Amino acid sequence: MTTAVNTPANAAPKAKGPNKFLSWVMDNGALVGLIILCVALFIATPHFLTVNNFLNIGIQAATVAILAFGMTFVIITAGIDLSVGSVAALGAMVSASFFTDLNMPGWLPLIVGLLTGLLAGAICGIATAYGKIPSFIATLAMMSIARGATLVISDGSPIRTADSVNWLGSTVAGIPIPIVMMVIAGLICWFILERTVLGRSMYAIGGNLEAARLSGLPVKRIQITVFALSGLFAALAGLVMAGRLSSAQPQAGVGYELDAIAAVVIGGASLAGGQGRATGTLVGALLLAVIRNGLNLLNVSSFWQQIVIGLVIALAVGFDVIRNRTAQ
């Protein structure tokens, strides 16, 4: 006699062990890659696993990570921001100019620099939201404008920064402040994405902009906010760079927008929008820093380093394509 077992019609089959592990690896590919890379470098060179080297990696990753946290907001909404490197330089240069020309005291130069980035990002957001200019074009134009303004203000020469900005590049009680700023920026990014209506709205817009608009979301206002946040984070990154050098450099941040985009994509975000996490972006930035650090320790030419970084980015994008096809 056969006994029938009643199973709910909508009960989802439980993933088996190997499938669950494969799914976890697909969702955390950057973290797995970072762990494997660290183990390989530990075996390859005795200089990798030291406190000083880890702090050095953190400092190297800080600027790119802060830029990438702002970029994460933009990419989640299916946009792109090519201006972050130039806006970083502009924010630092405006801060330094106000300090030297107006003798601005205290923390005001730092605030002015952050507001400069916020304004530049907001302009890109307005151009995208109301001008219907693709974010690629709007931020490409801002990249040129911000870099040109930086050169005009500085006349092509470095400008001394305020003590409040220099503090961002210092070390307190053995802890580098750039790493502290990276952690704070990451926590802010995580909080916005995971704990606010704004963060949920970003995912909705990136997933389906028209559906988000029809559901009543203020799409244009959110787009402006997203680019303003990207500009704000870029300015913070620029001020951290300037603080490390005690001066604002007119050519600072050149090419950093590509590293920021790479960190976000390596961290699991989709260029199609709707996906991305602050933790993934942090891992992506750390992975890039560890690769560069390891290649330097192994005395690999900087020319080959660019090839390796390019291959890593290509693999990350390919991984994203495979993941999206699997999800469909």
Q: Would you tell me how many other CB atoms lie within 10 Å of the CB of residue 206?
A: 24
pLDDT of amino acid 5: 43
Q: For tokens 């890379």, name the residue.
A: 37
Measured between alpha carbons, how far is 148 from 327 in angstroms, rounded to an integer?
A: 43
Helix (H) or strand (E) holding 176: strand 175-176
Spatial distance between the Cα atoms of 328 and 316, rounded to a whole number of angstroms: 19
- Helix, strand, or coil here: 124? helix
**pLDDT of 12 over the 50 cut:** no
Q: CATH assignment of 39-327?
A: 1.10.3470
- Measured over the CA atoms of residue 167, residue 168, residue 169 and residue 174, the dihedral's sign is positive
CA distances to 111, 211, 276, 277 from 206, in Å: 31, 10, 10, 13
Structure tokens at 68: 């990438």
Residue 6 — very low, low, confident or very high, per pLDDT cuts 50/70/90?
Answer: very low
4 pLDDT more than 60: no
What stretch of H or E contains 160?
strand 159-160
Contacts 24+ apart (CB under 8 A), 33-39: 33/287, 34/283, 34/286, 34/287, 34/290, 37/287, 37/290, 37/291, 37/294, 38/290
Confidence band (pLDDT; 50, 70, 90) for 16? low
Residue with tokens 């999206």: 324
Domain boundaries, the chain: 39-327
Closest CA to 262 of 321, 208, 316: 316
Give this prediction's pTM: 0.90
Could you give the C-alpha distances from 31 to 37, 44, 172, 226, 228, in angstroms and in order? 10, 20, 29, 26, 29
Contact 148, 154 (CB under 8 A): no
Q: How distant is the alpha carbon of residue 32 from its chain centre? A: 19
Least confident of 106-115, 228-237, 313-322: 313-322
**Percentage of residues in the chain having pLDDT higher than 90:** 71
pLDDT, tens digit, 9 for 90 and up, residues 81-122: 999 999 999 999 999 999 998 888 889 999 999 999 999 999
d(CA 175, CA 181): 11
Classified as helix, coil or strand, 172 is strand
Provide the Cα torsion 303, 294, 280, 124; round to 10°: -40
Mean pLDDT (the chain) is 89
User: Is 229 exposed, middle or buried (CB count within 10 Å of its CB: 0-12, 13-18, 19+)?
Assistant: buried
H or E segment and range at residue 248: strand 247-248
Instruction: Determine the pLDDT at residue 9.
Output: 42
- Do 165 and 96 touch, CB atoms closer than 8 A? yes
Please check the confidence at residue 69 and state whether its pLDDT lies above 80.
yes
d(CA 132, CA 324): 27
Q: Which residue has the tokens 């920064």?
A: 161
State the average pLDDT over residues 203-217.
94
Q: What is the C-alpha separation between 308 and 257, in angstroms, rounded? A: 18
Q: What burial class does residue 150 get, using C-beta atoms within 10 Å of its C-beta: 0-12 exposed, 13-18 middle, 19+ buried? A: buried
What's the helix, strand, coil split of the chain in %, to 5? 75, 0, 25
Return the minimum-mean-pLDDT range out of 39-48, 190-199, 299-308, 313-322: 313-322
